[in-house]
Amino acid sequence: MKKKRQIKRRQVKISKKDEETKLKFFKTYIPGFDKLCPEGVPVGNSILVEGGPGNGKTIFCLTLLKNMCERGKKVLYMSFEEPEGRLKEHMKIFGAKPEEYEKKGVLYVKRFNALDIARSVEALLSEAKKELLIDVQPVLIPPEFQPDIVLIDSLSSIASAFSGEESRFRIYMEQLFRYLEGNRITSFLIREVASPAHIGTTFVEKGEAVSFLSDGIIVIYNVFYPSGIRKRAFEILKMRGADINRRIVECEIKRGKGIVIHDKPVKGKYVLT
């Protein structure tokens, strides 16, 4: 019974993919973001959202969620950190109306246990007799919801559940990215890093497949000024398939709004972390 349903879904997906072979772009309606990426984000891209703890990665995703749901795009928020209830309360602080979006069928917030995922992947891999090909869909995307955008908070939580089994994590990530790409689902995948990979000197990436598998990298910085002030900054480091303005601009987190990205490069003597 279960198998039959999966086969049916796959057929639907193939015809959907055929329809949309050419590149399409979408705006985030976060004004500062759309200035940095004027053409828009290519549909189907997998984008890493990098930054240190408390830098605003979750709030960036919640702001995007609000803007997308309000325009009828279907968003799946996969939380490996906060429980669903707390996330929804968090969304409301930044102006989103999660219950309304759920009623309209454009939002699905789901909390996952990363250890359960790691165990399922292990079971699938042994069932597949080391073919290294698994179907991630049953262990990841709820079958009853077909999203346009997937937000994953966070890859770091998933990676730590696979700790000591990096090759399994890599296989899982490859399958996940392939699945998202094949279904033209745009994804934003949060990755918590002590220091952004491109500026860190001691940073060792957990699950190295992730950076080169991704189509885009967004970085949210903690800017430290020697005078003792901290600010936030935002950068689009990479966006496959679109022109980007290569600059690091100031941003803020505001109640009722979420992340506000300014059209103003960071200035003076500062350190990025």
Ligand X SMILES: Nc1ncnc2c1ncn2[C@@H]1O[C@H](COP(=O)(O)OP(=O)(O)O)[C@@H](O)[C@H]1O
| Binding residues for ligand X (CB under 6 A) | 51, 53-59, 93, 253, 255
Residue 88 binding target from ligand X, Mg ion, none, CB below 5 to 8 Å by type: none
> Would you say 12 or 194 has its CB closer to ligand X?
194
DSSP letter for each residue of 89-104: HHHHHTT--HHHHHHH
- Asked whether position 58 contacts Mg ion by CB under 5 A, the answer is yes
Residue 118 interacting partner from Mg ion, ligand X, none (CB closer than 5 to 8 Å by kind): none
Separation in Å, CA 28 to CA 34, 43, 51, 129: 6, 11, 19, 42
Q: Which does 255 bind (CB under 5 to 8 A by kind): Mg ion, ligand X, none?
A: ligand X
The listed partner (ligand X, Mg ion, none) that binds 129, CB under 5 to 8 Å by sort, is none
Which CB, 28 or 58, lies closer to Mg ion?
58
Partner whose footprint covers residue 53, from ligand X, Mg ion, none (CB < 5 to 8 Å by kind): ligand X
User: Are 251 and 261 a contacting pair, CB within 8 Å?
Assistant: yes
Closest distance between Mg ion and the C-beta of residue 153, in Å? 6
Q: Which is nearer to ligand X, 146 or 222 (CB)?
A: 222
Residue closer to ligand X by CB (options 146, 195) is: 195
Q: Smallest distance from the beta carbon of 89 to ligand X, in angstroms?
A: 11
Residue 129 vs 255, nearer CB to ligand X: 255
User: Checking DSSP bridges between strand 75-79 and strand 216-224, what pairing results, if any?
Assistant: unpaired
Token pair in block for residue 101? 């979006």
Minimum distance from residue 56 beta carbon to Mg ion (Å): 8
From the list ligand X, Mg ion, none, which binds 51 (C-beta under 5 to 8 Å, kind-based)?
ligand X
Residue 58: strand, helix, or coil: helix
**What is the distance between the alpha carbons of residues 86 and 98, in angstroms, rounded to a whole number?**
11
Cβ nearer to Mg ion, comparing 68 with 155: 155
Q: Which two tokens stand for residue 264?
A: 């103003």
Residues 88-117 that bind Mg ion (CB under 5 A): none
Q: How far apart are CA 238 and CA 10, in angstroms?
A: 31
Burial grade of 194 (CB within 10 A; 0-12, 13-18, 19 or more): exposed
Shortest distance (Å) from residue 229 CB to Mg ion: 23
The DSSP result for 168-217, as a single string, is: HHHHHHHHHHHHHHHTT-EEEEEEE-SS-TTT-SS---SSTHHHHH-SEE
Q: Which residues in this chain contact Mg ion in the complex, by CB under 5 A?
A: 58
